[in-house]
Structure 1
Amino acid sequence: MSAAVSLRGLTNRPKQERYLVTPEGIEIPIMLASKGSRLGALILDFLFFFLVIYAVVYLVIFVAGGAADTFASDSIEGASGALEFLTILFILFLFFMRYGYFMAMELGPRSATWGKRIVGIRVAARDGGRLTPEAVIARNLLRDIELFMPLVFIMLAPGGEWGSYGVAGAVWFAIFMFFPFFNKDNLRAGDIIAGTWVVEAPRTKLAETMSTSGAAASSGSSTVTGAKYEFGEAELSVYGEHELQVLERLLREDKDEALGPVHETICRKIGWDPGAGDERAFLEAFYAQLRAKLEGDMRFGKRKANKHA
């Protein structure tokens, strides 16, 4: 499909709704995360961040005390070397926590840190493609400029007084913290550089079956044509959990205008003749059988997050 299939004119859409254009050229509606949910996720992440750091600090102090007692009877050099080694490990730990936590979590299957998962949001690429390592690295490196560096300016103000040094840090901090208020997509500077945005990620459990009629309810038989749709392993393997959730959302919305382009795209992907007039029955059967396959794979410890996995 050379041009994107637009669903924008179907109904009146919420203000925060946007559209991801998939590589197949279909527009999928998504909801932008609110500023409040993004702030809540950041606070939760930093709470988790500092709790882990404090726990490690106490662990290092405990180990360091034991090392000092062990080497005290042998040599001062031995104790000093052990403490230096622990210091190096602690510095490396801080580095990986500062950068690795956010990057590793957002590069995972859910594209979200623990804070984002709790409030129900995730990171997505604005071009509709996969969230690439380059984008995740870029948006998280910008966090240094947006957050960490101005905070350091404020905390290290000479003599503990703000003066021009602290004021500069506060202004710097405020500019980036209020950045999402100056654009309609709630983007922070890191999102603009990386080509990402943060969207709502409804807590949809794979085990909760969608209630449908027609093909899904009758094991693939169409109530319109009587045809029975059955898909093989290779045909069902082209999609994963993400595509299943997108298909479920489209079926729930019950917009016939949106089903045609999706039906045509899936048929082309699996090598079927798309035909016409029986789109819902086909999609319900594909949904039911894809869901059964993914649930069966999960019982054996195999998960397919999306079509790229």
Structure 2
Amino acid sequence: MNAASPSFAHATGRERTLVTPEGIAVPVTVASRGSRVGALVLDFTIIFLGLIAIQIFLYMVAGGLFDEAIQAADDSISGAAEFLFIVLVLIIFLARYAYFLVMELGPRGATFGKRIVGIRVAARAGGRLTPEAVIARNLLRDIELFMPFVFLSMAPSGDTGSAGIAGLLWFLIFMAFPFFNKDALRAGDVIAGTWVVEAPRTKLAKAISATGAAARGTSEVTGMRYEFGDDELSVYGERELQTLERMLRDADASALSAVHATICKKIGWDPGAGDERAFLEAFYSQLRAKLEGNMRFGKRKADKFS
């Protein structure tokens, strides 16, 4: 089976249909602009409070070195005090960049702020969110936010001439960017090929009716018994389970055939054609049982990439 090219189709409002490289149509909802702003404010608040907590801790541990560095001013300071300031600068750098990079590269594709408001970063092409995409979208934040703020902060001194006006215009242009496209993409999303969507539910949806092969693992058509091993069930996660469930509910023959071919290729099976639904019902039932069993032990598998 030739995989379909990744694409997405627009629908009304914020609903979209994403077509994965495997040819599976997945409905998604583009995150609202308000939720994105709220998530960013929460993230910056978390970073700010975290830095304050770290500085308080360092001051409690080595407060004398801070006092020494402040009193010395331009005079020479001890190597220990200089090292402490280097550590502090590194912490600030990591808080500014590593926080977003590490969390968005995680299995949830979201920072703490995004998790709180229920949104996540996703690749618009339907594939896995790559490190290159995450790095690109976050480096663009410097151009979108931090550089304009530098110009604006310099303006009150009067030494920069029209820098303040330039910084304000710069800031307004980038802030208005999400309002000029239907998917609320900021410049970083355009460059990185990403978008921000509402996060799927963390709780598994109510199971479909356990009938036929889904209940017994045996086909009513051919009598074949489908039993899948742990390695075969481990290739997919909760998101793929929910996608398979939607396919089974819709009962579209062509869609089921495409999903059947994709799963068989992925797990190395060749059961032949004509019994696709029984195969998929059995796979769905056993995959769901495995994921729910893992949840009881605190183990989650969000998708096939995690």
* TM-score category of the 2 structures, normalised to the smaller one: 0.7 to 0.9
Percent of residue pairs identical:
64
Residue 221 of structure 1 and its aligned partner are, at CA, apart by: 4.2
Structure 1 counterpart of 2:2, one-letter code = S
CA 127–68 in structure 1, closer or farther in 2 if over 3 Å, else same: closer
Please give the secondary structure, in 2, of the residue aligned with 1:282.
helix
Bigger CA drift: 298-307 or 258-267?
A: 298-307
Structure 2 length-normalised TM: 0.83
- Alignment map for 1:230-241 (pairs within 5 Å): 230-241=227-238
Residue 216 (structure 2) aligns with: 219
Please give the secondary structure, in 2, of the residue aligned with 1:262.
helix
Match status 1:291 vs 2:300: no
Residue 304 (structure 2) aligns with: 307
Residue 242 of structure 1 and its aligned partner are, at CA, apart by: 3.1
Structure 1 counterpart of 2:157, one-letter code = G
CA 36–274 in structure 1, closer or farther in 2 if over 3 Å, else same: farther
Bigger CA drift: 94-103 or 41-50?
A: 41-50
- Alignment map for 1:204-215 (pairs within 5 Å): 204-206=202-204, 209-215=206-212
Residue 212 of structure 1 and its aligned partner are, at CA, apart by: 2.6
* Counterpart Cα distance in 2 of 1:40 and 1:251: 36
Residue 140 of structure 1 and its aligned partner are, at CA, apart by: 0.4
Work out whether residues 154 and 162 of structure 1, in 8 Å CA contact, stay in contact via their aligned partners in 2. Answer: no
CA 258–14 in structure 1, closer or farther in 2 if over 3 Å, else same: farther
Match status 1:48 vs 2:46: yes
Match status 1:246 vs 2:243: yes
Unmatched segments (≥5 aa) in structure 2? 70-74
* Counterpart Cα distance in 2 of 1:127 and 1:178: 24
Residue 155 of structure 1 and its aligned partner are, at CA, apart by: 2.0
Work out whether residues 214 and 221 of structure 1, in 8 Å CA contact, stay in contact via their aligned partners in 2. Answer: no
Please give the secondary structure, in 1, of the residue aligned with 2:141.
helix
* Counterpart Cα distance in 2 of 1:302 and 1:30: 25
Residue 21 (structure 1) aligns with: 19
CA 20–154 in structure 1, closer or farther in 2 if over 3 Å, else same: same
Residue 28 of structure 1 and its aligned partner are, at CA, apart by: 2.1
Alignment partner of 1:37 out of 29, 35, 38: 35
* Counterpart Cα distance in 2 of 1:149 and 1:7: 34
* Counterpart Cα distance in 2 of 1:70 and 1:172: 40
> Could you give the per-residue CA deviations for residues 262-289 of structure 1, whole angstroms, max 9, x where no partner exists?
223223333233523x544432321120
Work out whether residues 7 and 126 of structure 2, in 8 Å CA contact, stay in contact via their aligned partners in 1. Answer: no
- Alignment map for 1:129-208 (pairs within 5 Å): 129-159=127-157, 164-206=162-204
Residue 226 of structure 1 and its aligned partner are, at CA, apart by: 5.9
Structure 2 counterpart of 1:185, one-letter code = D
Q: Would you say how many aligned residue pairs link Structure 1 and Structure 2? A: 300
Residue 2 (structure 1) aligns with: 2
Please give the secondary structure, in 2, of the residue aligned with 1:204.
coil
Residue 195 of structure 1 and its aligned partner are, at CA, apart by: 0.9
